[in-house]
């Protein structure tokens, strides 16, 4: 199968698997154990902490390992919410992942007000509206995703964080779709908390991290044995933490070497071929500001649901919107926020590449998409002639 759904999850990289395996077998010790073998495992965790910290420009003690990206987001938001006192207004965007949106809804149920700032048609935050929102007297904290999981569009994080800082409120970013794919240097930015998830960059599922700036407070979500310097209790998922460290180091080397250009060239090749060879293909969102692995395309007069079934049959995996939204009838909240019609939203596919994708697969994927589009349009009556209608 051709796997082009890397924003949903990625394969554990063979080098990452090799690094983690000993910690499932002969190095299976509990890192809290007092004997030397346990201490060696603890040391390996600290090495992984350094690797993850380096990838985002943090100090190792600012990294807290968690059970997944969702936990990182929950931990950050509940900690922030508990600290706001009377300033119960939370500022976020309309395009967040469900692990932010649902927490915000929970907090609304507990008496907080949530302000969801919109985006323009390129999928980027409305900075004027953001400035106004964070500047309100009762604003307690702000949270904005770094890169959108559906479109890959990168948000103006430096500007949004600076505005939050100027307004005197803490700033969190869900950077789960950005870490490892785009350069992040937290030394240069007023970001207080940042969420990371291992399985988006070739570590296993079920491990994440939360960056907590050393100058800000943090109240844990989980209490117990006091692991992670008391910030996240629970026996560490050692092998997965080691894996995430190795994956972070690997992605760092690639970002330093070519800024993820290899992945970008496959995505661009895929996109350019489809746009040249198929009528009525549109890129959704900013082409300038997006992660290098993601193509989000609308296929005029083609229901994405039908395309996905055909592509699955041909042996290609991708998705419409996010993995979490698959199977839902409603058009994506992200594309709705961008002002797209339900029709456009429902004819859009997300194709996401990784460092394990190949040119051969990319070319095969183009042929499969062409075949699926042709087939659907022959049923649905697309003529393929005349100017492309840019539907809104
Ligand atoms: N935030 C974003 C932007 C995501 O894309 C995802 C995963 O799809 C998550 C949060 C949740 O991460 P995890 O699957 O590790 O819980």
Tens of pLDDT, residue by residue over 253-308, are: 999 998 899 999 999 999 999 999 999 999 999 999 999 999 999 999 999 999 99
User: Two tokens at 35?
Assistant: 């004997």
CA dihedral sign, ordered 348, 198, 261, 99: positive
Is the predicted pLDDT of residue 73 greater than 50, yes or no? yes
Pocket probe for ligand 1: among 7, 65, 69, 144, the residue whose CB has the most ligand atoms within 8 Å is: 69
Question: What pTM was computed for the model?
Answer: 0.95
- 118's tokens: 């919109």
Instruction: Give the angle 326-262-154 at the CA atoms, nearest 5°.
Output: 50
The C-alpha angle with vertex 220 and arms to 196 and 80, in degrees rounded to 5, equals: 75
Which residue's CA lies nearest to atom 14 of ligand 1?
69
pLDDT band at 349 (very low <50, low <70, confident <90, very high): very high
Strand partners, 277: none
Strands 2-3 and 316-317: parallel
Best residue for ligand 1 mutational test, from 149, 150, 199, 321 (most atoms within 8 Å of Cβ): 149
**Does 384 score more than 60 pLDDT?**
no
CA of 294 to the centre of ligand 1 (A): 15
- The set of protein residues with a Cβ atom below 6 angstroms from ligand 1 is 68-70, 73, 97, 99, 145, 149, 174, 176-177, 197, 199, 208
What φ, ψ does residue 357 adopt, rounded to 5°? -70, 150
Evaluate whether 348 touches 296 at the Cβ level (below 8 Å): yes
Query: What share of the chain in percent tops pLDDT 90?
Result: 92
Measured from the Cα of 70, ligand 1's closest atom is: 16
* Cα–ligand 1 centroid distance for 96 (angstroms): 10
Distance (Å) from CA 209 to ligand 1 centroid: 12
What residue's CA is closest to ligand 1, atom 12?
69
pLDDT number for residue 322: 54
Best mutation site among 173, 200, 201, 350 for ligand 1, i.e. most ligand atoms within 8 A of its Cβ?
Answer: 200
Going from the Cα of 352 to the center of ligand 1, the distance in angstroms, rounded, reads 15
CA 42–ligand 1 middle distance (angstroms):
27
Q: How far is the CA of 200 from the centre of ligand 1 (A)?
A: 8
Dist. CA 148–CA 97, nearest whole Å = 8
Pair 377, 384: CB distance under 8 Å: yes
pLDDT of residue 388: 39
At 386 the pLDDT is: 38
Alpha carbon nearest to ligand 1 atom 13, residue: 69
Tell me what percent of the residues of the chain surpass a pLDDT of 70: 94
Task: Give which of 293, 300, 249 is closest to 271, Cα–Cα.
Answer: 293
Nearest 5°: the CA angle 214, 217, 219 is 125
**For the CA of 7, the nearest atom of ligand 1:** 5
Residue 247: pLDDT band (50, 70, 90) is very high
Could you tell me the pLDDT band of residue 331, with boundaries at 50, 70 and 90? confident
Q: Residue 245 and residue 68: Cα distance in Å, rounded? A: 14
Mean pLDDT of the chain: 94
The catalytically annotated residue of 28, 68, 302, 324 is 324
- Let me know the angle formed at the C-alpha of 312 by 311 and 318, rounded to the nearest 5 degrees: 75
For 131-169, the pLDDT digits (tens) are 999 999 999 999 999 999 999 999 999 999 999 999 999
What residue spans of 259-287 are helical by DSSP H? 261-277
Contacts of 206 (CB under 8 A, 6+ apart): 67, 68, 198, 199, 237, 240
Is 302 known to be catalytic? Answer: no
Residue 203 CA to ligand 1 center (angstroms) comes to 13
pLDDT at 249 over 50: yes
pLDDT surpassing 60 at residue 325: no
Token duo for residue 350: 């997300």
Q: Beta strands 171-174 and 193-197: pairing type? A: parallel
The residue whose C-alpha atom lies closest to atom 8 belonging to ligand 1 is 8
- The conformation of residue 390, written as its DSSP 8-state character, comes to -
Atom 5 of ligand 1, residue of closest alpha carbon: 149
| Ligand 1 atom nearest to 205, measured from its CA | 15
Rounded to a whole number of angstroms, the distance between the first and last alpha carbons of the chain is 33
| Confidence tier at 330 by pLDDT (50, 70, 90) | confident
Query: What are 232's two structure tokens?
Result: 């996240």
5: confidence class by pLDDT, cuts 50, 70, 90: very high
Region 84-90: what's the mean pLDDT? 97
What mean pLDDT do residues 97-119 have? Answer: 98
Using the atom order of ligand 1, give the atom closest to the CA of residue 8: 8
Q: Where are the beta strands (DSSP E) in the chain?
A: 2-3, 63-66, 89-93, 113-117, 139-143, 171-174, 193-197, 208-212, 281-283, 294-299, 316-317, 348-352
Distance (angstroms) between ligand 1 centre and the Cα of 98 equals 8
65 beta partners? 209
Residue 382: the pLDDT is: 54
What's the rounded Cα separation, in Å, for the pair 376 and 281? 14
Q: Which atom of ligand 1 is nearest to the CA of 324?
A: 8
204-230, pLDDT tens digit by residue? 999 999 999 999 999 999 999 999 999
| Atom of ligand 1 lying closest to residue 206 CA | 15
């Amino acid at each position: 199968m051709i796997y082009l759904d890397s924003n949903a999850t990625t394969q554990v990289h063979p080098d990452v698997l090799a690094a983690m395996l000993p910690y499932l077998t002969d190095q299976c010790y509990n890192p809290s154990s007092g004997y030397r073998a346990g201490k060696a495992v603890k040391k390996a965790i600290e090495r992984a902490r350094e690797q993850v910290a380096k990838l985002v420009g943090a100090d190792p003690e600012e990294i807290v390992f968690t059970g997944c990206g969702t936990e990182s987001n929950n931990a950050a938001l509940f900690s922030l919410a508990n600290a706001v006192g009377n300033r119960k207004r939370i500022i976020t965007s309309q395009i967040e992942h469900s692990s932010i949106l649902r927490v915000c809804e929970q907090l609304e149920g507990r008496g907080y007000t949530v302000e969801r700032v919109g985006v323009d048609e390129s999928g980027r935050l409305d900075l004027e509206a953001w400035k106004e929102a964070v500047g309100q007297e009762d604003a307690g904290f702000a949270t904005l995703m770094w890169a959108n999981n559906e479109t890959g569009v990168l948000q103006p994080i430096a500007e949004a964080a600076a505005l939050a800082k100027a307004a005197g409120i803490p700033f969190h970013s869900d950077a789960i779709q950005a870490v490892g794919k785009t350069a992040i240097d937290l030394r240069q930015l007023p970001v207080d908390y940042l969420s990371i998830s291992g399985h988006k960059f070739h570590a296993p599922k079920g491990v994440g991290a939360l960056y907590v700036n050393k100058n800000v407070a943090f109240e844990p979500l989980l209490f117990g044995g006091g692991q992670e310097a008391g910030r996240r209790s629970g026996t560490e998922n050692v092998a997965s933490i080691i894996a995430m460290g190795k994956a972070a180091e690997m992605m760092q080397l690639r970002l330093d070497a070519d800024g993820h250009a290899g992945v970008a060239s496959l995505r661009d090749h895929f996109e350019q071929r489809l746009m040249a060879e198929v009528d009525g293909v549109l890129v959704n969102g900013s082409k300038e500001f997006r992660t290098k692995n993601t193509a989000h395309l609308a296929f005029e007069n083609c229901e994405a649901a039908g395309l996905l079934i055909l592509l699955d049959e041909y042996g290609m995996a991708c998705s419409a919107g996010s993995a979490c939204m698959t199977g839902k009838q409603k058009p994506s909240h992200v594309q709705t926020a961008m002002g797209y019609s339900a029709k456009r939203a429902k004819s859009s596919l997300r194709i996401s590449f990784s460092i394990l994708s190949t040119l051969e697969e990319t070319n095969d994927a183009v042929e499969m998409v062409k075949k699926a589009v042709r087939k659907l349009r022959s049923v649905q009556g697309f003529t393929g002639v005349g100017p492309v209608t840019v539907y809104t």
